[in-house]
Amino acid sequence: MQESHLKTIEVYQSLKNLNAQSHAIRAAVNLGVIRNLRRGQRSLPDLAKQCQLQEKPLLLLLEILKATGLIEQYEEDYALAQVGNVWPEELEDLGDRYWAHLEHWLKHAETIPENASTPLDQKDYEAEHMADVWWTTPAAIDAAQALSLGKERKSLKILDLYSGSSVFALVLLHHDPTSVATLVDDAARLQFARQHAAGLAEAENLEWLECDPTKVQVPEDYYDLVLISRQIHRLSPETLDHLLALAHRALKRNGEVVLIDVFPGQEDGVLSRSVRDLELALRTHGRQMLSPKEVEQALVQHDFSEIQFAHLPAVPRIFGVVLASK
């Protein structure tokens, strides 16, 4: 049999498996299987009783969930795997609140209703940011290492615009405890960032500015490094232009701006990046990821130079970092 034919069979089976996994996970969420396993490991009869399900069909479902890595089996008991424990209960829909509008968006991209995305309440908002912390931390570590924080660059005054959960600033400070960082974001995000940083040694080197980052008043020629992480794809061209101008004013001579975002180029991350591209368009009414070249052009327009780009190899292998000097 030809290799191409075998490859076709493999792709077909992979598609069937993906579809089955999707349905299995949603069934496990909707029927309370995941919710019950969050409370502790359970035997098959106990889990079936708690969820009011039949044992034999449930066993088949659990086998699929084991294969996906979502649950694990310990002799007669089943338990959530680590990924299940860091998957917030409030976000068990895995983004269905956005994906439910995919067909509408594909037909009417320019007229997608402003209320198409269900707003997050406070509990959901905090859950989404907790998920953000654990899945972006490896990329933040890669970024700190790429910047040689604590080695080539140390004792910096850092301005973190759109600081979000503060994960990138905290990791940078962990690599260089002699640096200080000013976090700028709105009240809700800074409240969560304070909770996230509470008790960490790095928190002593944090300052907080509760403000719209596009309107913040900061001293000119003061900072060694301006950090903008995972935001440029969310911004309109006008807002990005304004933010880069602000960064340039805030930096000392030879200071640097660091832009961390999703960029193309890592083969292992193609599917993850493509999903992010489409999700971004759904959630932000048509915005798209920028290429490193587009970012470079925007930086040049604001008199930045010595522009460098590097991929961040950490899973999910979709992030990159752009560094430029004033």
**Domain of residue 11, CATH code:** 1.10.10.10
Q: Are residues 239 and 311 both part of a single domain?
A: yes
- Please determine, for residue 286, whether its predicted confidence score (pLDDT) is greater than 60: no
Give the residue with greater pLDDT, 34 vs 279: 34
Note the pLDDT tens digit of each residue in 205-250: 999 999 999 999 999 999 999 999 988 888 888 999 999 999 999 9
How much is the pLDDT for 147? Answer: 93
Q: Are residues 181 and 54 both part of a single domain?
A: no
Least confident span in 51-60, 65-74, 123-132, 256-265 = 123-132
Global confidence as pTM? 0.80
Give the residue with greater pLDDT, 176 vs 269: 176
Boundary (domain end) residue, out of 72, 87, 102: 87
What is the average pLDDT score of the chain? 88
114 domain-assigned? no
Give the residue with greater pLDDT, 84 vs 246: 246
Give me the CATH number covering residue 232: 3.40.50.150
Least confident span in 167-181, 199-213, 272-286 = 272-286
**Residue 197 near residue 166 (C-beta atoms within 8 A):** yes
Q: Are residues 67 and 188 both part of a single domain?
A: no
Note the pLDDT tens digit of each residue in 122-173: 555 555 656 677 788 999 999 999 999 999 999 999 999 999 889 999 999 9
- Domain of 168 in residue numbering reads as 122-325
Q: What is the mean pLDDT of residues 60-71?
A: 95
- Residue 110, token pair as written in the block: 């320019």
Give the residue with greater pLDDT, 290 vs 119: 290
278 domain-assigned? yes
